[in-house]
Amino acid sequence: MRGATITGTGRYVPERVLSNADLERMVDTSDEWIVERTGIRERRVAAPEQASSDLALIASQRALEMAGVAASDIDQIILATTTPDRILPSCACTLQQKLGATGAAAYDMFAACTGFVFGLGIARGLIIGGVADTVLVVGVEVLTRIVDFNDRNTAVLFGDAAGAAVLQPCADGEGLLAVDMHSDGELGEVLEVPAGISRNPASEATVKAREHYIRMQGKKLFPFAVRSMEDSTRKVIAQAGWTADQIDLCIPHQANLRIIDAVRERLGMPEDRMVVNIERYGNTSSASIPVALDEVVRAGRLKPGDRLGMCAFGGGATWGAAAVSWTRARVEPGISDETGGTVAIAGSAEPERLA
Ligand SMILES: CC(C)(COP(=O)(O)OP(=O)(O)OC[C@H]1O[C@@H](n2cnc3c(N)ncnc32)[C@H](O)[C@@H]1OP(=O)(O)O)[C@@H](O)C(=O)NCCC(=O)NCCS
C-alpha cells in the first residue's frame, strides 16, 4: 500500500481589486453591511483578456515548480471550476495544452465550491490505486463573469482566483489520510445559474431576464453550510484517528466569515488554527481552499507531521472534507511568493462589461 500526498502548491490572483467602496457605487450596499455580514473587504477581478485557464496556468506552474515536477510528468489533470473558458472543450484540456502536459488525461469537475476537495478525493484514489503517479488538482474561477452586478445579494460575495496542488505517492499512513465527499441534488435551486446550457439554452430572452448569472438563496444556504462542514470535518478527523483539538490548522471554504466562525466554534477550535483570507478575496468557490493552502505553505505555517483539515460546501449541493498528515517541508528559498500584486485601483473598478 502507498499513500498520496501534496508535494507542491501554487496560487494566482488577478491584479485588479474590487473594493467594497467600489461596490457601493454599483449597487445599494455599504462597506459596513458587507464587512459585518460577510467579513469581505475586497475581491479580485480578472482582466478582460483573462479566462479561467489563464489563471489556472500560473497557479499550476507555481505548484509544479514547488514540487519539482515537469509538466510532461503529469498523468492526470483534474480541474474544478464553475466557470470554464468554454463549455467545450473542457478548461482542463485548454490548461493541458498551455502547460504542455502532453501525457496527461485532463477533465473538468463541476462540484462548485467543493470541487477542490472532491478533486483531492479522486486524485488520492488514483494514486493509492496505482492508476496515476502524478496528479495536478486545480481550483479556478472567474466568477465575476457570471455575477450579476445589479444584484446586491450576490454582487458583493464573489471573486476570481486560481489555486493548484500536485499530488504524488508517499508512505502509507502519511499525506491525505481521509477525504469525505457528499451531494444532495434536492438543494439544487438554492444556488444556480438558470440558463445557458441544455435546460434553458441561451437566447435573447434568457439574457434579458439575466438568467445567465448566479442566483442564490443565501439564507437557506447558511445553516446547511455550517452543518455540512462541521459534520464532514468530524468524519475525516475520526477516520484519521484524530480528535478535533489535535488539528493544527483547518482551511475552510471561504464563503462567509460568520459561517467559518460558526464551524470553528462547533468544532471547539481556537481562532488561530482556522485559516481566514476572505477579507482579501471574497468567495472564490473552488479556488478558495487551494489559494489559502498555498498561502499557509509559503508562509511556513505547516511543518511535516502537522495535522491539516480542509472542508467545503457549495452549489449542487455538495460538501466534503479532507484530513492531511502534512509531509512536505517548508518551501525552499527561491520559490516566488508573488501573487500578482495588490495595488488597489482608484475610482470605479467594475469590469468592462458593466460600464
Ligand atoms: C448572503 C448572506 C451574506 C446574507 O446575509 P444575511 O445576514 O443572511 O442577510 P439577509 O439575507 O437576511 O438579508 C438581510 C437584509 O439585508 C439586505 N441585503 C442583502 N444583501 C445586501 C447587501 N449586499 N447590502 C445591503 N443589504 C443587503 C437584504 O435585502 C435584507 O433586507 P430586508 O431585511 O429589508 O429584506 C448570508 O445569508 C450568507 O452568506 N449565506 C450563505 C451564502 C453562501 O455561502 N453562498 C455561497 C455558497 S458556496
The model's pLDDT over 41-67, given as tens digits with 9 standing for 90+, comes to: 999 999 999 999 999 999 999 999 999
Nearest to 139 by CA among 213, 78, 68, 97: 78
The model's pLDDT over 113-124, given as tens digits with 9 standing for 90+, comes to: 999 999 999 999
Residue 108 pLDDT: 98
- The mean pLDDT of 226-236, rounded to a whole number, is 98
- The mean pLDDT of 29-39, rounded to a whole number, is 98
Q: Find the residues whose C-beta lies inside 6 A of ligand 1.
A: 29, 33, 37-38, 113, 152-153, 156, 191, 216, 218-219, 221-222, 225, 255-256, 283, 314
Among 20, 29, 37, the mutation site with the greatest number of ligand 1 atoms within 8 A of its Cβ is 37
**Residue owning the nearest CA to atom 42 of ligand 1:** 218
CA 158 to ligand 1: nearest atom: 46
CA 23 to ligand 1: nearest atom: 23
CB proximity list for 192: less than 8 A, separation 6 or greater: 214, 215, 315
Residue 50 carries which side chain, given as an amino acid letter? Answer: Q
Q: Would you give the DSSP letter of residue 327?
A: -
Helices (H), strands (E): how many in the chain?
11, 13
Q: What percent of the chain has pLDDT over 70?
A: 92
The model's pLDDT over 145-161, given as tens digits with 9 standing for 90+, comes to: 999 999 999 999 999 99
**Residue owning the nearest CA to atom 29 of ligand 1:** 153
Q: How far is the CA of 297 from the centre of ligand 1 (A)?
A: 33
Q: What percent of the chain has pLDDT over 90?
A: 92
Residue 30 pLDDT: 98
Catalytic positions are: 113, 253, 283
Beta bridge partners of 163: 11, 139
CA distances (Å), origin 41, targets 98, 148, 303? 33, 19, 30
**Residue owning the nearest CA to atom 38 of ligand 1:** 218
> Please, which pLDDT band fits residue 329 given cuts at 50, 70 and 90?
low
**Residue owning the nearest CA to atom 2 of ligand 1:** 218
Q: How far is the CA of 196 from the centre of ligand 1 (A)?
A: 26
Q: How far is the CA of 163 from the centre of ligand 1 (A)?
A: 27
Q: Is the pLDDT of residue 25 over 60?
A: yes
- The mean pLDDT of 71-80, rounded to a whole number, is 98
Residue 263 pLDDT: 98
Given a contact cutoff of 8 angstroms between Cβ atoms, the answer to whether 46 and 160 are in contact is: yes
The model's pLDDT over 249-289, given as tens digits with 9 standing for 90+, comes to: 999 999 999 999 999 999 999 999 999 999 999 999 999 99
Instruction: Tell me which long-range contacts 346-355 makes (C-beta under 8 A, separation of at least 24).
Output: 348/22, 348/25, 348/26, 349/16, 349/17, 349/18, 349/19, 349/22, 349/45, 350/18, 350/22, 350/25, 350/26, 350/149, 351/45, 351/48, 351/144, 351/145, 351/149, 352/48, 354/26, 354/149
- The mean pLDDT of 223-248, rounded to a whole number, is 97
Q: How far is the CA of 148 from the centre of ligand 1 (A)?
A: 15
Chain-centre distance for alpha carbon 243: 25
| C-alpha cell belonging to residue 194 | 438558470
Q: Would you give the DSSP letter of residue 291?
A: H
> Please, which pLDDT band fits residue 338 given cuts at 50, 70 and 90?
very low
CA 191 to ligand 1: nearest atom: 47
Rg (CA), the chain: 19
| C-alpha cell belonging to residue 1 | 500500500
> Please, which pLDDT band fits residue 339 given cuts at 50, 70 and 90?
very low
Q: What is the dihedral of CA 96, 98, 100, 106, to 10 degrees?
A: 0
CA 152 to ligand 1: nearest atom: 23
Q: Is the pLDDT of residue 343 over 80?
A: no
Can you tell me the distance from the alpha carbon of 3 to that of 172, in angstroms, rounded to the nearest whole number? Answer: 4
Among 40, 222, 261, 263, the mutation site with the greatest number of ligand 1 atoms within 8 A of its Cβ is 222
**Residue owning the nearest CA to atom 13 of ligand 1:** 219
What average pLDDT is seen over the chain?
Answer: 93
The model's pLDDT over 122-135, given as tens digits with 9 standing for 90+, comes to: 999 999 999 999 99
CA 253 to ligand 1: nearest atom: 48
Residue 344 pLDDT: 26
**Residue owning the nearest CA to atom 19 of ligand 1:** 153
Given a contact cutoff of 8 angstroms between Cβ atoms, the answer to whether 309 and 233 are in contact is: yes
Residue 178 pLDDT: 98
